[in-house]
Amino acid sequence: MANQLSGGAPARDMTSEIQKTQFLELSNGVKIAYHHSPGISPGVVFLGGFKSDMTGSKAMALDTHCSKEGRAFLRFDYQGHGQSSGNFVDGSIGQWAADAISAFDHLTQGPQILVGSSMGGWIMLLMALQRPSRVAGLIGLAAAPDFTEDLMWDAFTDNQRSAIEVNGKLEIPNCYDDEAPYTISRHLIEEGRNQLLLRDAIDLKMPVRLIQGMQDEDVPWQTAHRIMDQISGPDVEVQFVKDGDHRLSRPQDLRRLCCTLDGFVEHIVNPALPAES
Tell me the HSE value of 50 on the side-chain side, using a 13 A CA sphere: 33
Per the structure, the complete domain to which residue 225 belongs is given by 2-269
Q: Assign 231 a pLDDT band (cuts: 50, 70, 90).
A: very high
Residue 274 lies in a domain: no
Q: Assign 14 a pLDDT band (cuts: 50, 70, 90).
A: very low
Q: Which of 173, 155, 158 has its CA nearest to residue 219?
A: 155
Q: Assign 7 a pLDDT band (cuts: 50, 70, 90).
A: low
Q: Assign 181 a pLDDT band (cuts: 50, 70, 90).
A: confident
The separation between CA 102 and the C-alpha centre of its own chain, rounded to angstroms, equals: 15
Cα-based distances in Å from 233 to 69, 178, 201: 29, 42, 10
Amino acid type, 267: H
Residue 219 lies in a domain: yes
Residue 218 lies in a domain: yes
- Looking up residue 177, the CATH number of its domain turns out to be 3.40.50.1820
Residue 277 lies in a domain: no
Q: How far apart are CA 190 and CA 22, in angstroms?
A: 32
Residue 275 lies in a domain: no
Active site residues: 118, 216, 246
Residue 177 lies in a domain: yes
pLDDT digits (tens, 9 = 90+) for 241-275: 999 999 999 999 999 999 999 999 999 999 875 54
The answer for residues whose C-beta is within 8 angstroms of residue 259's C-beta and 6 or more apart is none
Residue 123 lies in a domain: yes
Q: Which residues pair with 140 in a beta bridge?
A: 116, 210
Domain count, the chain: 1
Residue 106 lies in a domain: yes
pLDDT digits (tens, 9 = 90+) for 15-56: 344 458 999 999 999 999 999 999 999 999 999 999 999 999
